[in-house]
Chain A
Amino acid sequence: MLQSPRAPTGWLALVLAVVLFGVVILMARAEVAAPKPVYNLTTIVIIGILGFAAAAWGLVKLGARGKQAQQSDEEKPADYSHVLWLLGILVVGLGGAATVRYFLVPKTLGEFGYYRGDAAREARAGVPQHQGKERCRGCHPEEPKAHAKDVHSKVECETCHGAAAEHLAHFEKEGMFGSKAIFVPTTREPCLWCHRRLAARPSSFPQVDPDEHYAFLGVGDPSTPCMKCHSPHEPLFLDRPVHEARMHPVIQQCTDCHKVRPAKEAKRPEDHPAVFECSYCHQDLARDFAKRTHHNLDCSRCHQVYRESPTAVRIVKHRDPRFCLLCHAKKPFRTDAAPPLVDWPAHGQGKADTCIDCHADNIHGSKPEPAAPETP
């Protein structure tokens, strides 16, 4: 009956293993119950591994066969010394690596989460490039005045002109000399980035096919920039901001048009079968307009209908002669295909402030009985 001298070691090891597992279970329970991490997961895992190691040690020691079964009497016990030397080096090496790691972990890691807290601070510290139109207004007071009341009022200065940070830095450094470090569109391409007619663009958005547009207006050279006619800051020469333009009725209920509600399935304006045309409500005006010189134009060509919100729509009536001049101004690049052209302000000198004062008949008249339309 062999009483192995190592047996008490084995039992002690097993007891230690049980203790370590108990610690792990208690820590894990506390961890699960608490809303925020209490213990370090690595610590729990390491203690668990040590528990398994102790259990393994104990089991092996307890189950170790006696010396007789393992080896003959003449043989000496197995010599592990070289391995212990290796393991010692290994442990010291790992301990050293762990210490080095401690010093290499960034200080702010774990401040808010598993990332470097300073990274968020650095992300915030970037220098903004776009400045916003208030900053532009500081040095350029004139352009924003016209810009604010025309149809480009919602378009930021920097959308067309690029970020202003370099422009500002340049002026702070160089004064008024040298390149201005800001983009000034000179061709028609930047305009077409928004206004080219594309099938995918919402139809309510003003868009043109540049070739069609130039052919209609008698502009021969396709490299002519849009800005030759349209001022980029006030493209339509509105005489008042579009938000102050006249309200246009919006169809809300059936009885807005029908005296009696039709007994049909359609209950909402969107379900109404026909597309609304201006002439549906404005029949007399439409009949009258058809006899006048501008009859080939759609109503929307001159009357911008602006949907401000689901319930508020505004319509623009132009008074500024510069709007009419978009089509009718005599310019060197206009060909014979153009509509009748005039020299402004020479044409209107002293006679009138707006085109309508004289040419109401060409549009749709304020007079009740239209005169014979002027032949073009």
Chain B
Amino acid sequence: MDGYVFPNEVNVVWTVMIVLYPYITGLVAGAFVVSSLYHLFDRHQIKAVSRFSLVAALVFLMFATLPLLMHLGRPDRAFNIMITPHFTSAMAGFGYIYSAYFIVVAIEVWLVVRSDLVKRYESGGLLTRAFCSVVLLGDRRDSPEMRRANHRIVRFLAGLGIPMACLLHGYVGFLFGSVKANPWWSTPLMFVIFIFSAIVSGIAVLTFHYMTIAWINGWKVDQECVRALGGFLWGFMIVAVSLEVLEVLSIAYKQTEEWELLYLLITKKLFFTYVILQYLVFSLIPFFLLGINTLFRLRDRVSNVVLWVASVMLLAQVLLMRWNVVIGGQLFSKSHRGFTDYMPGWGTREGLIVAVIIFTIPFILLYVFHRIVPLFPPEVMVKKSKDATAQG
């Protein structure tokens, strides 16, 4: 701790859990947007990941509240946010927005996997039949007419879900952007920055996850799909990073009273994680890689590697952005005279081990899902033939 920090501000209160929460809801929003690109906007190139992205959105959504529960001083009172929401607070919207969006995504997933669940029921053992019965709410019928109805409703929900996803993730940005006491957070752009970087993280996690699964299982990667995803990723990342840079450029240019403090924050406390990692390494390099991949026609093998690396880097970039915003905003004191430090604990309730667990479980759950109902269309889950490896 150096300089003068208000005595109550020595400890950072919004910890790595609060970094993780917008990150996870960001993955949700991005995955949902990808699924809507297929279901509503008829981008048939990404059919391979359409169902996978939707289920991924649902699974991440299930775990979005866990970091918050870990953070709350009184998690036993967590439902107060739905019983007595105080709507002058952005945070009060969480209860209802999250629940409504959860219902929308759950219904959409239910409709999308319904037919396969019915098939699974017919071919499964006792436990599988019990599980499918419960999920199908006892209604185990299936017919082309039902599937047509499903399709129409899925389109509707995919459309309805986009503004809701924006709301779910945007309100978090607004939550930070509206804190007038904190000069690092207080900007009207925060809402938009969070949404766009969320979409980037969602597309990145899907690309990364699909390619990793394909590689592990020996499937042939659907090139059209990943190229399309790479294109979307590049486009959204340009917007997201431009907004982030614009925001900091704006305060650096105006140089109002808080600039002295923020300058020290950027150049001393956050220099490594913000300037070096978030921008120079994890924004510039993916921009370059994805640009080359989108503008030039690379061989499939090379293109896939480039895309995979760029996805991983962008996942890191978005996580770092959340870290730099949430933690960075608490590293300086409101006295404008001093800085404090933050290192998350390991085994504490809000520590790194818990964070890693919370982030890993959704991936495991997706695998479990896949065992019950295949998350990819059958034409995607085709193993590469041996001589296909010789092809570029």
Contacts and interface: CB of A to CB of B under 8 A. Distances in A.
Interface-centre pick from A76, A81, A82 (highest chain B CB count, 10 A): A82
Given A78-B149, A86-B107, A114 B137 contact: no
Interface residues of B, number: 23
Given A90-B103, A106-B84, A109-B84, A78 B110 contact: no
Nearest to A82: B139
Contacts of A80: 149, 153
Contacts of B180: none
B146 A79 contact: yes
B149 A83 contact: yes
B83 A105 contact: yes
A80 B111 CA distance: 11
A89 interface: yes
B139 A85 contact: yes
A85 B141 CA distance: 12
A121 B181 CA distance: 30
Chain A residues touching B, range: 10 to 19
A79 B84 contact: no
Contacts of B146: 78-79, 81-82
A255 B84 CA distance: 70
Interface in A55-108: 75-83, 85-86, 89-90, 101, 104-106
Interface in B144-202: 144-146, 148-150, 152-153
Contacts of A81: 139, 146
A244 to B, nearest CB: 42
Interface in B70-93: 79, 82-84, 86, 88
A158 B382 CA distance: 83
A255 to B, nearest CB: 47
Given A89-B137, A90-B103, A82 B114 contact: yes
Contacts of B389: none
Contacts of B139: 81-82, 85
Given A89-B137, A101-B83, A79 B143 contact: yes
Interface in B131-145: 137, 139, 141, 143-145
Contact of B145 (A79, A86, A104, A106): A79
Contacts of A101: 82-83
Nearest to A86: B137
Contacts of A78: 145-146, 148-149, 152
Contacts of B103: 90
A79 B111 CA distance: 13
B77 to A, nearest CB: 11
Nearest to B140: A82
Contacts of B107: 86, 90
B119 to A, nearest CB: 15
Contacts of A83: 111, 149-150, 153
21 contacts: A78-B145, A78-B148, A79-B143, A79-B145, A82-B114, A82-B139, A82-B146, A83-B111, A83-B149, A85-B137, A86-B107, A86-B110, A86-B137, A89-B137, A90-B103, A90-B107, A101-B83, A105-B83, A105-B84, A109-B84, A114-B88
**Which 8 residue pairs are nearest across A and B when measured between Cβ atoms?**
A79-B145, A78-B149, A78-B148, A79-B146, A80-B149, A104-B83, A82-B139, A76-B145
Interface of B: 79, 82-84, 86, 88, 103, 107, 110-111, 114, 137, 139, 141, 143-146, 148-150, 152-153
Given A78-B152, A82-B149, 14 more contacts: A77-B145, A78-B146, A78-B148, A79-B143, A79-B148, A79-B149, A81-B146, A82-B146, A83-B111, A83-B150, A83-B153, A85-B139, A86-B110, A90-B103
